[in-house]
A and B are shown apart, each in its own frame.
Chain A
Amino acid sequence: MNFESLLNKLIEDTLQLSLPLFSAELVLCGTIVLMLLVRLFNADKFLPAYIVSIIGVGISFAIACCDYSKLSTPGFATGEIFTGLLIFDQFTAFFRIFLLLFLTLVICLTELSGIPDREDGPDFYTLLIGSTIGMLLMISANHLLILFIGIEMTSVPSYVLVGFMKGRKKSSEGSLKYVVYGAGTAGVMLYGISLLVGLLGTANFSEMGANLHQILASQSVEGVALAISNPVVGTLLLGIMMVLVGIAFKLSLFPFHFWCPDAFEGASAEVAGYLSVASKGAAFALLVRFCLSIVGDYSSVDQFSNIYLAIGIGLGVIAVVSATYGNLTAYTQNNIKRLFAYSTIAHAGYMLMAVAALMVIMSADSGADINKAELASRCIQGLLYYLTVYMFMNLGAFAIVAFIRNQIFSEDLEDYKGIGKAFPVLGICMGICIFSLVGLPPFGGFFGKFAIFASLYEASTIHWSMFVVLCLAGLNTVFSLYYYVRILKTMFLEERPEGAPDFQSEPNLWNSGYVVIISAPALLLGIFPGRLSSTVQDIASVLFN
């Protein structure tokens, strides 16, 4: 094959296959440019930034939905695009819709609560959309380079978003801590990537598993389990661990969570809500892809099952510690954003349990009488269901915090006394979000937790440690009840103290309507779980074909 035919093939592949499937992201890029041009020509007086951004994101969302429906038509080839750098399948399409829907909701929220003023609007939405483009790269990553670029493109605008309120001491301190931890973990992750790339001889997710098996097989001695003291195995595990550090930072899991409460307290509630859901969703998609890529062909892992089991148990331990730490620390918090930050850490822990169960199931001997593909796809189903419900319930909670802040200019739990009676709609929606976050039936959070706990139980038949994880997770749900209910108790049962500052305005119909629309799915997904669970079932099953 000569150079010219190679070049023609590349151009054809890019223009005809890859770029059309990438158009959702391209529209977002175009929106950013357009928004900045509008301001450049002083047209933002009659075309405000939020209108441009919501139209752009809306178009992009529509394209993502079309792409999703195209996937179900027969004969449509899914797979790697851009010469294997990205992957497009049902899993990508689902997360793309998830992120773009969430971005639309966040832009509506920022407009209703008025956090970026007219002048700062284009900057704010540029950062918001820019970091979402990074997340869209994360969810479709099929290469270690895209993994790194995606995480960096997501993080760098988020640092600025946290410090967006320039004059406030807390805001600059929150973003300072975020940037220091973020830059540090990004460096560690990159070092891990360099080790993996060098040892595996490939950076492509679809080849990493096979190369890893080959290397491990060449290192193993007949009849002896692979020892971590073996230098090659040890270095490989170190590389995998370092990459997981970078992802764990984005998920705010236990030893890498320090930034989370500080950044959330320093940021405005809208930004905190955005970071808590969007970057977690994208990071979980990336984590699942990375874990599946290092497992590779799951029917032939018998020889090195102890390596995968060790990774699975390690993730399980981190998950339990994150959940317990988050729930116990949240109990003593007085700032409501900080409280929800710790609750976010705990929820990341619950969701990580699904990935831990996935790895343990993958490590099972092929002799065992289980259907790996089905059990593993159930773990992913639980994760996807939980994430979808989590998007609504957590954004709902942060939206209510933002609207209440506009009324009382405070985010301390003490000042929330009697708010539930003054603003019944906000109070009741907060109740729905909180009961869903606890995981009480019939709220949506219950089904998400139930699905994850069920897959933990299935994983416990392979290794007993998953049973311990399951018990501690159940116990954690009980812990979390106390601090969540404390918020409701303050809002509804306590009287508003004498001399408390007056409310700024009457309850606004738009604000109430928004929180009802956001929190209703948290309840509806619990009452009618059928539709979403069959959708996530289809999506999870394509990962294991």
Chain B
Amino acid sequence: MEGISLNSFLFVGAILFVSGIVCMATKRNLIGILMGVELVLNGANVNLVAFSRYSSIGIDAKFIALFVIVLAAAEAAVALAIALSFYNNHQTIDVDQADELQG
């Protein structure tokens, strides 16, 4: 670990974050969008863990990261359930088909 600076970790985190946002914005498949969300959350987690080693925040940041992992799992479970319910009603999970509610 010696020799790797904080900035390198933050750079990885930022790349994950941006990839996640791009993924969320461009994917038309709901599962793809959820993958983008996971990337964003994990980008933030990389930041948190790196900060817990290099900045004065200490172990608090690691605990935040642990809680985030749990919450991300809960959110993914609910999102998949909703995707299933959407599939049952529309026979697709293409989000472009969700165009009934407008105005």
Residues of A with Cβ closer than 8 Å to B? 144-145, 148-149, 152, 155-156, 159-160, 163, 166-170, 172-177, 179-180, 183-184, 186-188, 190-191, 193-195, 197-203, 261-262, 265-266, 329, 332-335, 338
User: Given that A197-B51, A198-B55 are contacting pairs, would A170 and B85 also be in contact in the complex, using a CB cutoff of 8 Å?
Assistant: no
Q: Which of B30, B33, B47, B98 contacts A191 (CB 8 A)?
A: B47
Q: Which residues of B contact A166 (CB under 8 A)?
A: 85, 88
- Tell me if B82 counts as interface (CB < 8 A to partner A): yes
- In the complex, the answer to whether B78 meets A159 with C-beta atoms within 8 Å is yes
The reply to whether the CB of B15 lies closer than 8 angstroms to some CB of chain A is no
Q: Which of A155, A187, A201, A262 contacts B37 (CB 8 A)?
A: A187
- Chain B residue numbers with a CB within 8 Å of A152 are 71, 74-75
> A187 CB to closest chain B CB, in angstroms?
3
Q: Is the CB of B57 within 8 A of A149?
A: no
Residues 29-63 of B at the A interface (beta carbon under 8 Å): 30, 33-34, 36-37, 40-41, 43-45, 47-48, 50-51, 55-57, 60-61, 63
* Residues on the A chain within 8 Å of B101, using CB: 170, 173-174, 177, 261-262, 265-266
User: Are B67 and A145 in touch, CB under 8 angstroms?
Assistant: yes
Q: Which residues from chain B contact A167 at a C-beta distance below 8 Å?
A: 89
- Tell me the B residues contacting A by CB distance below 8 Å: 13, 17, 20-21, 24, 30, 33-34, 36-37, 40-41, 43-45, 47-48, 50-51, 55-57, 60-61, 63-64, 67-68, 71, 74-75, 78-79, 81-83, 85-86, 88-90, 95, 98, 100-101, 103
- What's the Cα separation between A66 and B18 when bound, in Å? 48
Query: A146: nearest residue on chain B (CB-CB)?
Result: B67
- Determine if A187 and B40 form an interchain contact, defined as CB atoms under 8 angstroms apart: yes
How far apart are A375's CB and chain B's nearest CB, in angstroms?
Answer: 34
| A-B contacts besides A168-B89, A261-B103, 12 pairs, CB < 8 Å | A152-B71, A170-B100, A172-B82, A172-B88, A173-B86, A176-B86, A183-B79, A187-B41, A188-B21, A194-B48, A194-B51, A198-B57
Residues B103 and A203 in contact, CB atoms below 8 Å apart? no
Interface centre among A186, A190, A203 (most CB of B within 10 A): A190
Distance between B31 CB and nearest chain A CB, rounded to angstroms: 11
- In the assembled complex, the Cα of A199 lies from the Cα of B47 at a distance in Å of 11
Nearest CB in chain B: distance from A332 CB, A? 7
The closest CB in chain A to the CB of B16 belongs to A191
| B interface: dominant SS | helix
Q: Which 3 A-B pairs have the closest CB atoms?
A: A187-B40, A198-B51, A201-B56
Q: How far is the CB of B9 from chain A (nearest CB, A)?
A: 10
* B41 contacts A145, C-beta separation under 8 Å: no
B79–A191 touching, CB < 8 Å: no
Can you give 25 contacting A-B residue pairs, CB < 8 Å? A144-B64, A145-B63, A149-B71, A152-B74, A160-B78, A169-B90, A172-B86, A173-B101, A175-B85, A175-B86, A176-B30, A180-B30, A183-B79, A184-B24, A184-B36, A184-B37, A187-B41, A190-B44, A194-B13, A194-B47, A197-B48, A198-B48, A262-B101, A266-B101, A335-B103
Q: Please name all residues of chain A whose beta carbon is closer than 8 Å to the beta carbon of B61 when the two chains form the complex.
A: 194, 197-198, 203
Q: With A and B bound together, what is the CA distance between A186 and B13 in angstroms?
A: 16
Task: Give complex CA distance A186, B47 in Å.
Answer: 16
**Which residue of chain B has the shortest Cβ distance to A342 in the bound complex?**
B103
A237–B67 CA distance with the chains assembled, in angstroms: 25
Q: Which of A156, A176, A202, A335 contacts B83 (CB 8 A)?
A: A176
| Assembly CA distance A262 to B41 (angstroms) | 25
The answer for the CA separation of A329 and B103 in the assembled complex, in Å, is: 8
Residue of B nearest to A184 (CB): B24
> In the assembled complex, which residues on chain B have CB atoms less than 8 Å from the CB atom of A148?
64, 67-68, 71
Chain A's closest residue to B13 (CB) is A194
Residues of chain B lying within 8 A (CB to CB) of residue A200: 57
Shortest beta-carbon distance from B92 to chain A in Å: 11
Contact of B82 among A168, A170, A175, A338 (CB under 8 A): A175
Given A163-B85, A169-B89, A175-B82, the answer on whether A145 and B64 have CB atoms closer than 8 Å is: yes
Task: Looking at the assembled complex, report how far the CB atom of A192 sits from the nearest CB atom of chain B, in whole angstroms.
Answer: 8
A180 to B31, CA, bound (A): 10
Q: What residue of chain B has the Cβ atom nearest to residue A334's Cβ?
A: B103
In whole angstroms, what is the CA distance A200 to B51 when docked?
A: 10
Contacts of B68 in A (CB 8 A): 148, 190
The minimal Cβ–Cβ distance linking A443 to chain B, given in whole angstroms, is 28
* A contact residues around B64 at 8 Å (CB): 144-145, 148, 193-194, 197, 203
B71 to chain A, nearest CB (A): 5
In the bound complex, residues from chain B placing their C-beta under 8 Å from that of A177 are 98, 101
Known pairs A168-B89, A332-B103; A176 contacts B40 (CB<8 A): no
Q: Are B86 and A187 in contact (CB under 8 A)?
A: no
Taking a contact as CB atoms under 8 Å apart, the answer to whether B44 and A183 are in contact is: no
Task: Kindly list chain A residues whose C-beta atoms are within 8 Å of the C-beta of B57.
Answer: 197-198, 200-203
Given A156-B78, A167-B89, A183-B34: A173 touches B100 (CB 8 Å cut-off): yes
Judge whether B82 and A188 touch: CB under 8 Å: no
Q: Is the CB of B82 within 8 A of A176?
A: yes
Q: Could you say which residues of chain A place their CB within 8 Å of the CB of B82?
A: 159-160, 163, 172, 175-176, 179
